[in-house]
Structure formats: structure tokens, C-alpha cells
Structure 1
Amino acid sequence: DILFRNPDVKYDVLCSDIEDFKLINDTFGMAAGDRLLRQVAELCTQRLGDHGICGRLSADQFACLLEHREDYADEMFTQSDSRINSGFGDQNVIMKYGIYTVEDREVSVEQMCDRALLAAHSIKGKYGKHFALYDDKLRGTLLRRQAITDGMETALAKGQFEVYLQPKYQIRDGRLAGAEALVRWNHPEWGLQPPGEFIPLFERNGFITKLDQYVWERVCALLQEWDRKGYPSINISVNVSRLDIYNTDLADVLTSLVRRYGLSPDRLHLEITESAYTDTSRQLIETLGTLRRLGFVIEMDDFGSGYSSLNMLAEMPIDVLKLDMKFIQTEITRPTGQGILRFIVDLARWMKLRVVAEGVETREQLERLQNDGCDYAQGYYFAKPMPVESFVSVLTVQDPPADMENSRSDDSADRIDRALLVVDEDEEYRAQVHRSFSDCFKVLEAASYEEAVKILGSHPYQMSAVILSLTLQGGADILTAIQKERGAWVTPCVATGPLDMELERSAMELGADDYAAKPHSQESLRRRVLRVMSFHTLQERIRSQQDEACRDSMTGLLNRQGLYTIAESLRHASFSAVYLFELDDLKKFNEKYGYVEGDHLIFHFASLLRAHTRMDDVLVRLGGDEFLVVMCHMSSMEDVNKKKTAILRAYHESRYAEPDLVACFAGTAFWNAEEPLDEIIRRAREVMYAAKAGGKDECLIRKG
């Protein structure tokens, strides 16, 4: 109406989108998400005033109509983001904005908003980009998407979607072990289209469910045909999308399909992407459990792509772990025995999961994967995805395929490079541990402090874990040595001893990851070791994924964005304590002595934090003068306060001689998995302000 009442006025449609809004809802609750939406709406109304109108399009998308301007700049939008973040507990909310200049007023308002949103989506995930303008390039993208949507039903009816197969090979002997079904669109005008051209769009518009069922049936028909011709029997992996999981009849559909073609369910491997876990975790677990009980083999695809924590491995009813191509290529660059590939393979093997590496392109990568214990591989080193006819040639000329259901790599060679050390004075206990863990590790034994130190100092491979008796003479010293060298070893450690609260507390203070009170079953010990290995692997994964956008450039600590990137993962750790530190009157210090001196003070402060915290603790520079530490496995408030006092005392003792002082105040709070991180930071800040008002828990850092 406004457009037609003002034909001489040029207008823009501006649409905004909140990045990872679902994650905010999942992490902080629906109430927090609703509060954020209200703040965005209020900001839009305030900024527009009488110069335009605004409204909410959908869940986290807003649209504004305003008079056209030529001088859009990032500063306009960063100011808005700052106001939103300050009103949302300083959460790192990222907004993306798209702008469409109204040229044709006959275009529907819905299309105008679609074009503005297309511009906003074009910069999603691009750090430092806040807005984008709709242009001819984006218009071409929109037209292409519309053409794909218009042609998808016809393409399915006319058989334009073709199944391609990529072989999977057993790493140990190079035998064919199966295939993955992929899809290509053989378009009559555009030619052969790769899945990246249409699959993301189909996932958004829901057509993916029809395409998936088409592929499932085509694969079952192929397997039946090959069985009838006497070809070697293999399995084929097919994709199950997130939308398929919502179908309550999924198990019936798949069961009916394999029965119709006379196939055993285990011939059809069902690939679930790691990202599906974060979207539909409870329903996903229930659905996969049902399918697995029916005999289907469940594969988790794209593991390592960054969506979820390793806790999913303990929850998901899966049989096969497929490692993401980019993850593999990153890990291969790390020295053997370092990085987290070995850890993940160890965990998978322990949980009786088969491991498939995707995206293998070189002989060097293959050899490394073999050394690290992977079972199967696929990638261009072996073969590209190929038409069915070409795959038949591979299938019929190879040696009999490996049985992926029952075949495993020979553990005896792999165990040589994966060691677990048990340090205990009880020979029978060491023997029990040896029997319990020898299926996964080369178990090394030490009965004394001297033997343990010798193994830790000279053993050529990195320890996967250490089980350490604290009643052993010198046991505490061994734990201290492990903690001291964690920068190099990164070795998970489970301490053992009698049921003694003081001894358990001492173990945690010395850096143990868990404490197993004796007597205990070997099964419970296995679970404890698995949990601490999972946590360490998670920490390594967090560190490996942190890029410059998540780091404070001056101190190297995480910044606010980095903290919220890993916040959900931290919620799974037990007994976490949050420490908040503030350097008081830093601004006055900078004004008096200059920013170079102020930067030196900040860097010195960060260095002291590093020196007095553990390898797995999370250190964050929240802002100019605020620092945050998250410490896991802190079992009591007494321990928390003791650590805070020790840190403050260390700061106080490091002060310089000149009389100009910068005070440091601290606040602490416990964090359990039920509360959002922002709430914990708020409570810690209240404690800090109370200390500040009373002049308590203060340390003084002199000008450096």
C-alpha cells in the first residue's frame, strides 16, 4: 500500500536473519529466544521511527520497508548488533542483513522479501560481513533455484535422477567392501548436475524425501538384479535425510522395501549425517534404534564436521562411523600419534564400531589411516563416483568382496601403536586391567614409581590413557608429572584408590580426570576410561576447530565468540566452575601510561592465567578488562574458592614496585547442565561486584 501511495519515492526492503537461532533456543531455552526476538523487534521499530515500517516474517526473520539510501555501511549494522548483544546478556548474537532495492512495484512483497533474504543468506557464515545487496548475480541464483524447483517433479517422473556408486575398500587388503549410493541429475538442458546443485534446495523444500525413496528403491532393485545374476554379494549405503526421520512410517517403508526385493536388511546401510543429531536427537535415537533392531546397519556420516560433541557416540545406536573428508584431510597433516584421529578410532573400536574414512586422495593418506586403525576407505585415490554399469565392472573383476558386517582390521598390528598404562602395586589388579583392555590397547604395566616414570619418559608412542593407583608410593608424583607434561602428552588419567573423599579431592586437584574407588568392576572402569578419553578428544577437537575468529588476537585466549562456539560442548562436563576476573580502572591506566603499557598488562595477566590453570581449562578474554575461566571437575565450592584464592595470590605476588595500581576482582559460580552460560556469568559477575564494593578478594597488579 505504501509503495503505491508514494510512486515517486524510492524504497528498499531490508530483511534480517539471526545466525544459528535454533542453537540459541536449544542452548538457552525458548524463553531466551523469545526475549531476543522482542529485542530485535524493538530495535527495528526504534531505528526506523517514522521513516518506514517493519514486521516479523517468520521465526527469526524480520522485514523492513524504508526509503532508499546509497550509503549503507557495516558500521550501521554493527551498532545494531552491539545493542542487541548488550540487551541479551552479552551473548554473541550475529545478525545478517539483506537489502533489495524496489525497482518493479508489480513484484509481490513476498518476492521482494525473498530477494532480500537471498542477499542475507549469501553472507551467512562469513565473518565480518554484515549486509549484502541483492544484485544480478543473486537474481541469477534465484532464477536457477526456481528452475530447479519447477523441474524436480518432472525429472523424477522421467528418470532424470541417476544413481552413481562410489566403491568402499577394506584398508587392510584393498578388497572391495561395498559402495555408497549418490545421485546425479542428468538434466536435458544443463547436462549432468552434481548433488550440490540441487540437494540443499530439496532439503529446504521437502522434495528430498521423495528423492531418497527413489534412490532406496533403485538400490534395492540393483542388489536383487545382481544377486539373480550371481554377482558377489555386497552392501550399499544410502542417505537418510533429516526430513526422513520425521516420517513415523520410516521403519515400515524401509522394511517393506527390502522384503519386496527379497533382501536382508543388513544389505542396506542407512547413512545419517552428524548434523541430524543436533536437530532431532531424541526422535533420531528412537527411530534408529527401531531400524537397527530390524536388522538395518546404521552409519553416522560426516563425523567430525563440527555439529555435535562426542557424547553422541554413547547415545546413538550406530554400527559404522564415517569420518568427514575435511576432518580426515586436516588430521592427516598432523604427526602420527598426535591430533585426535587416533583417539576417535580408539573410541570407535572400543565401542565395536567400524570406521570408514571418506575423501582419501593419496597413498600417504591411506597409509596414515591404516596406521591409525581405520577399517575402510573411499575416495578418489580408489575411484570416483561412477555410473552403475562401470561399478558392475569393478564388482565382477575384483576378488570376492570383504564382508563389512563381520570383517575387522587385524587388531594385533594396530594395538602396537595404541598404549594404555596401568600403574598399580597390586599384581592381580594389573592382570584384570590387562584382560579387560587388551582387545583395544597394548597394555603396559608398572608396579612402582620408577617403572612408571621410565615408561612415560621413554615409551615411543603417545599413551591413550593412564590408570594410576594413588596408594602406590609416589603415585601423586606421577600424576603431577603427567599434569606438568600435558602440553606434550595430553594423556587422560583415571586415578584409583579406596573410597576416600579427601583422596578423591586430592586426585582432582592434582589433575586427574576421574577417580575410581576400589573395589570396582572392570566394566565400570572401562566406562570411566571411555568417558575421560571422550572428554579429552572433545577438548582436542575444540582446540583444532578454533580459528582466528574465535581467538583474542592480543592474548591468544578465546574471545567471546569462541566461548559461545564451544559452550554447548562444555555443558557435558561434570562439576564445572566459572571464574570471572576484572582489571579495575584499566581505562585510567591506559590514559596515564599509554595503550602499549596497557596491552603489556593484559598480556601479562593472560600469561598468569595460563600458568595457574590446567591444559583442559577454558580461558577467555570476554572484553577489554574482563577474563573468564571455566574449570571442569571441580567437586565442591571449597575447591573453587581455594583455586580462586591461589590465582589471586599469584597475581598479587607478581605485582611490580611502582605505586600505580590496577586492582583485580574475581567472582565465581558453579555451572550445571541445566542453566544457560549467560546466567552463570551473570551470577559470577554479581559476586565480583559484591567483592568490588567490599574491597574483598582483591589483588593489585602494578604497572609493568
Structure 2
Amino acid sequence: MFSQKKILVVEDNMLNRNLLCQILASDYDVMEAENGQEALDILKQYGEGISLILLDIVMPVMDGYTFLSIVKADPAYSSIPVIVTTQNDAESDEVAALSHGATDFVAKPYKPQIILHRVAGIINLRETAAMINLIQYDRLTGLYSKEFFYQRVKEILLRNPNKQYDIICSDIENFKLINDVFGIPTGDRLLCGIADIYRQKLGDKGICGRMNSDQFACLLERREDYNNRMFIEASQQINEILDVRNIVLKWGVYSIENRTISVEQMCDRALLAARGIKGQYGKYFAEYDDALRDQLLRDQAITNSMESALAQNQFEIYLQPKYRIWDESLAGAEALVRWNHPEWGFQSPAQFIPLFEKNGFITKLDQYVWDKACAVLRDWDDRGLPSISVSVNVSRADIYNADLAQILMKTVQKYNLPPSRLHLEITESAYTENPKQIIDTVGHLRDLGFIIEMDDFGSGYSSLNMLNEMPIDVLKLDMKFIQNEMAKTNSQGILQFIINLARWMHLTVVAEGVETKDQLVRLREIGCDYVQGYYFAKPMPRNAFEVLFSEKRQLEQDLDEKTLQSLKEPPILLIADEDKNYRQEVKAAFGNQYRIQEEDTCEEALEYIKNHKNVAVFILSLTSAKMDGFSVLKTIQENKALWNIPVIVTALPDAELERQALDLGADDFICKPHFMQSLMKRIQHVVSAAVNQEKTRLLQDAAYKDHLTGVLNRRGMESALKTLGNSDLPLAVYAFDLDNLKICNDTSGHAKGDRVLARFGEILCSYTREKDILARIGGDEFIAIVKQIPSEKTAKKKGEEICAAAQVSGRENGTFISCSAGVAMMESCDCILDAMERADKALYHAKKTTKGSCCLWTSQIK
């Protein structure tokens, strides 16, 4: 049951007051006051909860006219309607009452039906006016509401067909940030202040309305002199409203030429002009023009085509490779979308993604990409291709979808994939919009097994506190941030700080937008984990991406072979210690995991490791009587073949001994006496580190070596050339070419040709030393850089020996394969590339004159 409306009767005569109360009591909740002062006290208590006042004019203490003047001057009560009652029905009294703000006038004696009708009518009128007022005006700013502004503009344009008008719309950049940082009341004060400035500027020359949260629009008569100065002045006034500074407004101007479009479309065009200069320093306003019109038409064409394009599979996923930085091996991919339109051709995402984010179609497109990415992963798994993960974008609109987790789980289950194979990229700025909801949603996805990546880190406004609360696994550094910071040599500490922060939070770091070798080197130095960018590869179609798998598969096979070889026999723990009891303790503690080899002297231990290559860990006492442990460490340090053996040294507590041992290459130091559990932890640590180093070496070998011949490939040669120094001079640079290999391939098959190539690789290795650089740079072309060759004569002789050995090999295999060579010397102050070019010229001179020979470059050879 709704409560009755309240009516206040103000009358000093008790009989008249009682009579009015009796007339009104059946329909209203009636309150009484004997004079104006009592009535004011009641008003203070109930305010606008009182629907109407019946007021006598002649009263003691405070008369009716004084009461009316006070009430109508107070905004808290001024809207309450007042009916004046008096004994005199003279026109002058009626005019006086109405001029003081009374709504109506009734004379005594009272006629019940007339009073009830007038009271009901005035109350209904007041409520209707209040409802209309709510519809017409924005409650916060008092400006026209959006809908009423549209209606008023339409009426003005219809009444003034010959006048020219403009619509100006404004938009506050990062208004949400103001609300988040300073609070909603501060944001409200700013909006009210902007509304006041609009009223002041427009006066009676136009009308103004509030469109949305921070967007305003006004209609005014056409003017031709829009310039930055007038908008800068308005911006300065707005920045003086609050203590907050650097509030940035952008204005858009639409000159009304086409009156057939809706007012809403006119405002959209003005806002489009304003949005077009967002983020542009020094630009305060923009006018809607043909370029923006063309953009609107283009956007409309895209919108009209998007549903059918999705149904017809016009959208294609492209894959951008992601590489592990320490060995530059393929580690994953990011799925991007391209639109292959039958008429427009390939469309860049920049042309349609922002529009789809605005109109909501992005959610359908994202789900389409998720499905396609999972289908590709399933197909790769079925074909036995390397198992990698793929990252996909999750848009802001997806986050607010209550069914997001269900949709993603259904997608991966459809293709029988674990959620961890699908990495979800969520842009950093999305986390600042509604932190709690997004953190809860993303946290649930992470609990389900999806890997969460924060995309574009460094482009938003994340606080360290917020970053600590975010449920993420991977930080993806924004490409512009990478490029800008790399360019500022004095600011590169910021990148190091981010990497260190990620390490502390146990996050993986991916740098995207890597375009140069210098950027890659710097990122590797500071400890970044993965990289993407044009330096390695652009986004590519699926079939092009699959070509990259062949190299990855070969790397993994090489690693597997090494791993299998190491598993054929248990690893060896070598201990050299003069204390037999200590050796027995170690044997008892580790005998189940290792084959224990005991030596009571360092000399015997050193001899053992020189003859056995499968020592997994070496425990070395520094206090041996015959040969001290420091001599053993120094020998290991000088012998490159022994570098990968992890060494833990033991001694009594001595800080100087520990420092010397670590300086000589010991991996760890443990003081005697100690618990075996402590030694176990240290062994686990150094062995794990050694395994990782060996994996790195094997991967680098596989990446830098030609698999068929065993010599370096082109990448390996380029890396090896950087190690050359003056101590290697003089150099002999050879260029070799196997003659007639194509004929061999065509007549005997490529398998036979591959055997010839492999045999030539063996010949090169047998005629050179380990320190020389050997590489296969093409199908049948090889480079050899032999160090410290004393003379041109010696260099040419070695080249002739290699060519002769290749011809003997060719005859042994029943073919007529020969080898031609060119050789050039390199002295100090010379360039290796120039020497290689001279050797190449000498090679082709040999092929032209006498195939199967070695030609020494001279200045006569052009």
C-alpha cells in the first residue's frame, strides 16, 4: 500500500483549520500549523515530501506573504505548490498572492468539492511537470538531456530553414582515469563546471545538452572563425574548475549542410571529428570533412559485410612466430586475423578491428579465431609436428561475457587440447577499466589451465600494486615501448627493471616488435625470454609457418639422440678426497643415483676425468696431500673439453679459500663438516645448470651446423667470423665448388649426391684443424678459413691436396665428381669479406681454365 500524499494546512483560526483538515483527511495525510513560523519548522522536517500547502494570509507571528517569500526563495521548497485562502476575494488580493509565488487562490467559506478538485489538479500538475523536467534535463548538470536536446535541435532547424547552424561536441580524454584517481564526486564537479562554462559561452545564442558521461553537445548559429585560441581559452577555464590539472578536452565541429539526416547522426559526426584528434598534442578541435565522411561510408560498408564475411570464411588466421631468445629456436606463435575480401582484397586489422570493437562484432570474430587456432593445433599434433602453443587475443568485450570460460573450455575440448596450449592475450589497458571484475574473470580462466599473457605492457597505467594482484603468467612488452627505450641509451635501465620485476613475480617476458640485431642483443643481455618481430619473421599464412617446423624438428631430433646416448649408462659421481670415511659417506648417500668413482688423490682424479667423458659431477677436496685441488681446477679451466664438468669443492671454513676456488671456475663450495642433504641440494643445482648449458650448446651447434656435412652453415659461419682476431693471421680463405654434382644428382639420385657432399665435409675436416672455420654456404659450395698459414705457396698446396682428395673420392664412388678451388690470403688491415670475394673470383677462374684445380688469387684475376 502506497503512503498518502502529505498536505500542510497553515491557518491561525482553529475552526477553519479543522474544517480544511476534515475535507482533506479522507484522501491525504494532513499536517497543521497555526502560523508561518510553525509551517517553516514542519517544512524543514519534511521538505519536498509535502505535496501541497494550503496557506492563510492573515496570521500572527508570521503572515502568509512573508512565509511565501521565504519558501519561494529557498530551492529546497520552491517547487512545492501553494494555494492561498482568504476571506477577501478581491482581485488585488489575488494578484498579490500570485505575485508572491502562490499557485492558486480560494476564498472562504470553503466549498469541499472545489477544494478537493483544485488540490488534486495542482498536485497532478506538479508531478507531471517534475516528470517532464526529469526527461528534459540532465539531473547532474541541468543541461538538456540527450533525447530532449535532439528534439529541440530538430524544432529549431524546422522553424529556421534559412539560418545556418553548427553542432559542436566535446569529449574529455581519459575521464575514467579522473573518476578512478580522484573519485566520482570530483568527476561530477568537473562535469557541472563544464556545463556552467557552456551556459556562459552560449548565453542566448545556442542550446546545450549532455550526451553521455563526459560528452557535451551544443547547437549555435554558424560562425566562420573557429580557431585554436577560442578552444584553448575554454580549456584553460575548465582546468581551473578543480585542483586537478592537465584535463584535456577535444572538440569536434559539424557544419549542418544536410538536414535530412537525424540530429543523432549530426552529433556522431561532430564526435567523430573530436575522436580523430585524440592523443594529438596541441590540437583542440577538428571539423568534420570529406575524409571523415569517407571513413563513415567505409565503416558502414564494413559493418554491412562483416556477418556474411564470417559465414563465408573470408577471415583467415596468420601466425607470427615466437622465438626463444637464448637459442633463437621456434617456441610458439601468435594468431592474428586478416580479412581476404573478394572485392577489396586483403584488409589490415587496423581497418576493421577498431570498428568491430565499437559495434560488438569483435566477440564473434574472436571466437572464430580461437576455433581456427585450436583446429590448426589439432592438425599439427595429428601430423606429428612439434608441439607448440598459440596465443590468441581476448578483447575487452569478451571479458564481460559471462559465458567466456565456458566458450573457451568448449573450444579446446572440441579439439581435445589442454587449455595450456591456448595462451590468452589481454591488453594491459583492459585491466584498468574494471580491475576487480577482470581480475576475477581472468583468475578463473587461469585456474582452468589457460596461460594468461598481459599484452602491450608499458602502454597503459598499471600500478605496481595492481600488477601484483593480476593473475598473469606472461608479460608482453609493447613494441613502441621497446623501440623507444632502445633508442634512449640513458633509459635502458627501465627495461632491466621490468625484467627483474618479472623474475621476482615468476613471470615470463616476451618482447614484440623486435626489428634489429641490436635490439635482440640488448634483450638477450638483460634476460628477456622470448621475442617476436620482423627481425625474425612477419605474420604469415599457416602453410608458410609450417615450413619453419622442419628446422625445429631437426633440432629436437639432434637433442634426442644426445639424450639417448647419455642414458645408456648411469652418470658418474667422481670424488677426490683423502678422507676414506668421507668418501664412504658420499657413496652411501648417492650410490642409488650415481656410479661412484673414488680417488684418494687429486692427481688420480684428474687422470680419470681426462679418460672418461661421462662424469656428471666432481667433488674435489682442496686439502689433498699430493696434488692440491687448485691445480686441478686450473687444469680443468685450461682444458676446453672439461669445461662442462660441474665441480663442487670441499674444505674447512675459509672465506679466502672459497673465493680462490670460485675464481678458478668451481661451481660451488661446501664447508666440512656438513649434512649429506646439503650436499645433495648443491649437486642437484650444479648438475641442472650443466644440463641446461649442454642443451644450449647442442641447440647452438644444431642451429649453426650443416646437418648433412657436419661443417658450419651460413649462420654458423657468420657467427664464427666475429671471433677472428689478429692472432689468427695470416689467413688463407678458400672457396670450393664440387663440379658436376648436379649431373650426379640427375643420373644417380640425390641420395648419391648427398653422400658425395658428406664425404667432402669429411675431407675438409681431415685436411684442416679444429680451430679453422669450415662452412657449407650453398648446395655444393664451401668456404674454408685456415688460420696462421705462413705463405701463399703453403696455402695453394693445401688447396691442391683437398681438390686431389675430392677427385679420388669421386672415382671411388664411380662418378666423375671433381672439386675446384680458389684461395686468397688475408693479412692485417684487410677485410675478411674482401678476402672471401677474392677467393670466389679465383674459384671461377679455376673453373673456367682447369676444372678440378686450385687457383691462387692475384691482382691479374678480375
Scaled to the shorter chain, the TM-score interval is: 0.5 to 0.7
Instruction: Between 332-341 and 290-299, report the one with greater CA deviation.
Output: 332-341
Deviation at 1:300, TM superposition (A): 0.8
1:308 aligns with 2:462: yes
- Structure 2: give runs of 5+ residues left out of the alignment: 1-154, 557-862
The residue number in structure 2 matching 1:228 is 382
The residue number in structure 2 matching 1:275 is 429
The residue number in structure 2 matching 1:526 is none
Cα 1:395–1:374, aligned 2, differ >3 Å: closer, same or farther? same
User: Could you list the per-position Cα deviations for residues 478-506 of structure 1 after superposition, in whole angstroms to 9, with x for gaps in the alignment?
Assistant: xxxxxxxxxxxxxxxxxxxxxxxxxxxxx
1:98 aligns with 2:252: yes
Q: 1:72 aligns with which of 202, 222, 226?
A: 226
The residue number in structure 1 matching 2:238 is 84
Q: 1:212 aligns with which of 354, 366, 369?
A: 366
The residue number in structure 2 matching 1:7 is 161
Q: 1:37 aligns with which of 175, 184, 191?
A: 191
The residue number in structure 1 matching 2:417 is 263
The residue number in structure 2 matching 1:177 is 331
Between the aligned partners of 2:489 and 2:190, the Cα distance in structure 1 is 45
Between the aligned partners of 1:337 and 1:121, the Cα distance in structure 2 is 32
Deviation at 1:322, TM superposition (A): 0.9
The residue number in structure 2 matching 1:648 is none
Deviation at 1:336, TM superposition (A): 8.7
The residue number in structure 1 matching 2:300 is 146
The residue number in structure 2 matching 1:112 is 266
Number of residue equivalences: 404
Between the aligned partners of 1:371 and 1:337, the Cα distance in structure 2 is 15
8 Å contact kept, 1:321–1:355: yes
Q: 2:485 aligns with which of 331, 334, 337?
A: 331
Letter in 2 for 1:160: Q
Deviation at 1:401, TM superposition (A): 7.9
8 Å contact kept, 1:336–1:368: no
User: Could you list the per-position Cα deviations for residues 335-392 of structure 1 after superposition, in whole angstroms to 9, with x for gaps in the alignment?
Assistant: 4994211111111112211111101111111111111101111111111000111111
8 Å contact kept, 1:170–1:375: yes
Letter in 2 for 1:214: Y
8 Å contact kept, 1:178–1:401: no
Cα 1:277–1:400, aligned 2, differ >3 Å: closer, same or farther? farther
User: Could you list the per-position Cα deviations for residues 184-227 of structure 1 after superposition, in whole angstroms to 9, with x for gaps in the alignment?
Assistant: 11112221111111111111111111111110011111111111
Between the aligned partners of 1:329 and 1:47, the Cα distance in structure 2 is 44
User: Could you list the per-position Cα deviations for residues 597-632 of structure 1 after superposition, in whole angstroms to 9, with x for gaps in the alignment?
Assistant: xxxxxxxxxxxxxxxxxxxxxxxxxxxxxxxxxxxx
User: Could you list the per-position Cα deviations for residues 393-437 of structure 1 after superposition, in whole angstroms to 9, with x for gaps in the alignment?
Assistant: 2124433688xxxxxxxxxxxxxxxxxxxxxxxxxxxxxxxxxxx
- The alignment's C-alpha RMSD in Å is 1.9
Letter in 1 for 2:186: A
Cα 1:98–1:338, aligned 2, differ >3 Å: closer, same or farther? closer
Cα 1:336–1:129, aligned 2, differ >3 Å: closer, same or farther? closer
Q: 2:401 aligns with which of 234, 247, 251?
A: 247
The residue number in structure 1 matching 2:695 is none
1:297 aligns with 2:436: no
Cα 1:400–1:220, aligned 2, differ >3 Å: closer, same or farther? farther
Which structure 2 residues correspond to residues 191-590 of structure 1 after superposition, within 5 A? Answer: 191-335=345-489, 338-399=492-553
Letter in 1 for 2:466: M
Between the aligned partners of 1:63 and 1:332, the Cα distance in structure 2 is 43
8 Å contact kept, 1:233–1:401: no
Letter in 1 for 2:514: V
Cα 1:250–1:91, aligned 2, differ >3 Å: closer, same or farther? same
Between the aligned partners of 1:258 and 1:74, the Cα distance in structure 2 is 54
Cα 1:338–1:18, aligned 2, differ >3 Å: closer, same or farther? closer
8 Å contact kept, 1:234–1:401: no
8 Å contact kept, 1:176–1:401: no
Letter in 2 for 1:326: K
Q: Secondary structure at the match of 2:475?
A: strand
Between the aligned partners of 1:317 and 1:25, the Cα distance in structure 2 is 24
The residue number in structure 1 matching 2:205 is 51
Between the aligned partners of 1:191 and 1:280, the Cα distance in structure 2 is 38
The residue number in structure 1 matching 2:832 is none
8 Å contact kept, 2:485–2:491: no
Deviation at 1:88, TM superposition (A): 2.1
**Stretches of 4+ moved more than 3 A in 1?**
334-338, 399-402
User: Could you list the per-position Cα deviations for residues 124-158 of structure 1 after superposition, in whole angstroms to 9, with x for gaps in the alignment?
Assistant: 11111111111111111111112112211111111
Which has the greater radius of gyration?
Answer: 2
User: Could you list the per-position Cα deviations for residues 152-186 of structure 1 after superposition, in whole angstroms to 9, with x for gaps in the alignment?
Assistant: 11111111111000000111111110000000111
8 Å contact kept, 2:386–2:553: no
8 Å contact kept, 1:199–1:208: yes
Instruction: Tell me the TM-score normalized by structure 1.
Output: 0.56
Q: Secondary structure at the match of 1:361?
A: coil
The residue number in structure 1 matching 2:284 is 130
Between the aligned partners of 2:284 and 2:321, the Cα distance in structure 1 is 43
Between the aligned partners of 2:538 and 2:404, the Cα distance in structure 1 is 30
Between the aligned partners of 1:397 and 1:90, the Cα distance in structure 2 is 57
Cα 1:400–1:247, aligned 2, differ >3 Å: closer, same or farther? farther
Between the aligned partners of 2:501 and 2:336, the Cα distance in structure 1 is 29
Between the aligned partners of 2:504 and 2:401, the Cα distance in structure 1 is 32
Between the aligned partners of 2:520 and 2:437, the Cα distance in structure 1 is 36
Between the aligned partners of 2:245 and 2:537, the Cα distance in structure 1 is 46
8 Å contact kept, 2:385–2:553: no
The residue number in structure 2 matching 1:589 is none
Letter in 1 for 2:185: A
8 Å contact kept, 2:486–2:492: no
Letter in 1 for 2:280: K
Deviation at 1:333, TM superposition (A): 2.7
Between the aligned partners of 2:414 and 2:370, the Cα distance in structure 1 is 12
Deviation at 1:311, TM superposition (A): 3.0
Cα 1:138–1:338, aligned 2, differ >3 Å: closer, same or farther? closer
Instruction: Tell me the TM-score normalized by structure 2.
Output: 0.46
Letter in 2 for 1:167: P
Q: Secondary structure at the match of 2:405?
A: helix
Letter in 2 for 1:130: Y
Deviation at 1:90, TM superposition (A): 4.8
Instruction: Between 144-153 and 209-218, report the one with greater CA deviation.
Output: 144-153
User: Could you list the per-position Cα deviations for residues 287-341 of structure 1 after superposition, in whole angstroms to 9, with x for gaps in the alignment?
Assistant: 1211111111111111111332333331111111111111111222344994211
Letter in 1 for 2:527: G
Between the aligned partners of 1:156 and 1:79, the Cα distance in structure 2 is 48
Between the aligned partners of 2:555 and 2:304, the Cα distance in structure 1 is 42
Q: Secondary structure at the match of 2:319?
A: strand
1:189 aligns with 2:189: no
Q: Secondary structure at the match of 2:253?
A: strand
Between the aligned partners of 2:321 and 2:505, the Cα distance in structure 1 is 25
The residue number in structure 1 matching 2:24 is none
Q: Secondary structure at the match of 2:434?
A: helix
- Structure 1: give runs of 5+ residues left out of the alignment: 403-704
Cα 1:315–1:84, aligned 2, differ >3 Å: closer, same or farther? same
